[in-house]
A = this chain, B = another copy of it.
Amino acid sequence: MDTVYLNGKFVSRDNAWISPDDRGFLFGDSVYEVVRWYGGFFFDMKGHMARLRRSLSETRIIWNEIESFPEVAHELITRNSLDDGCSLVYLQVTRGSAPRTHAFPEPQVPPTVYASARRQSLDTLVWERGISIEPVTDPRWNRCDIKSTALLPNILAYQEAHDHGFAEVCFIRDGFVTEGAHSNIFFVRNETLYTHPATNRILSGITRNNIISLAADNGVALVEEAVSADMISYMHEAFLTNTSGEVVPVIKIGDLVIGDGAPGEITKKMQRLFREKVEAWGEELLARG
C-alpha cells in the first residue's frame, strides 16, 4: 500500500480517510494541483505554486502551510520509492469539514489537505502518432480559470468522447474553441500558433505557459486568440498540452483530419523545445544541488 499525505501526516493509503462532512465531498468545495516529477526534480514547481495560490485565493480557501507543498511532494516521491522515473503528485485542498450548509463554516475550520503520488510515464507513442479529439459544447461554468474539483461537467463530457473513441474533447463555447477537459489546445496556421487567451473560460496550464514562453524565445509566432470552430478546417496543425502528457499532437477533430493526419512540423518543434526545456531544467537544478 502506498503512502499518502493527509493533514500533516504521511499515512498508508488504507489509513487515509475523509469525513463525509468534508466540503470537498459534499460540495466540490476544493481546489487541486498536479505536478510532474522527472526522476530527480519537479518541473516548474514555481508555476504550479503560483496557480495553487491563485486557486486558493479565488475560492477564499485558506491554507497557511502552502509553502510546505514542494517538500510534501518530494517526501511522497521518496517514501513511495518513485525517485527514479516519471511520476505525478496530486494535491487537493478543501475548505474543511463542517455540518452541511452552503455558507462557509463559521468559525473557520482547518482545510483538508490531501496529496498522493503515482508513477506515470510519458506516453511517447501518442507523441509520435497523435490523437483524435471530439468537438463538444463547453458545458462548464464561467470560472474555468479556477482549478477546482467541481469537475462533473469535465467528467461527463470526457466520458462521452471516450465512448465515441476519442482521446479528449475539444470544448466549443459561443462558437470558439476553448480547451480540452484536462488540457489546453493550440492550433497552427501558416507557422503561427493560436491558443485561447487566459480568460475565465480556460484553465491556463503550466505547460501552456511554458509553450508560450518557448515560442517567444525561439522566434515562433504565437497569438493568444480563440480559434472559431468554423476555422478548424483551415488549421494546418493542432496539439494539446498538459502536465501529464506534455505536448500531444492532435491529428483529427471529430471527422476532420488536421493537416495531413500526422503530427505537424511546428508541433514536433514545440514538443522538442519543451523536452529540451525540461531536461535543461533538471540539469540546472541538479548542478545547483
Contacts and interface: CB of A to CB of B under 8 A. Distances in A.
Nearest to A168: B102
A151 B27 contact: yes
Contacts of A155: 23, 27, 29, 102, 104
Given A18-B22, A60-B159, A139-B141, A99 B118 contact: yes
The count of identical subunits is 2
Interface stretch (A62-70, A142-150, A212-220, A248-256): A142-150
A162 B16 CA distance: 34
A59 B139 CA distance: 14
A158 B102 contact: yes
A18 B16 contact: no
A85 interface: no
A4 interface: yes
Interface in A121-165: 137, 139-143, 146, 148-156, 158-159, 162
A90 B102 CA distance: 14
Contact of A142 (B90, B100, B139): B139
B90 A100 contact: yes
Q: Give the bracket for the number of chain A residues in contact with chain B.
A: 35 or more
A241 interface: no
B158 A59 contact: no
Interface string A4-21: 101000000100111111
Contact of A153 (B23, B30, B141, B162): B141
Given A142-B137, A152-B29, A153-B150, A158 B103 contact: yes
Given A18-B17, A141-B140, A150-B151, A103 B159 contact: yes
8 contacts: A18-B22, A20-B116, A25-B25, A27-B28, A28-B28, A102-B151, A103-B159, A142-B153
Given A17-B17, A27-B155, A150-B153, 18 more contacts: A13-B21, A17-B19, A17-B20, A18-B18, A24-B25, A27-B151, A28-B149, A28-B151, A29-B151, A29-B152, A29-B155, A60-B159, A99-B118, A102-B151, A102-B181, A102-B182, A103-B158, A104-B155
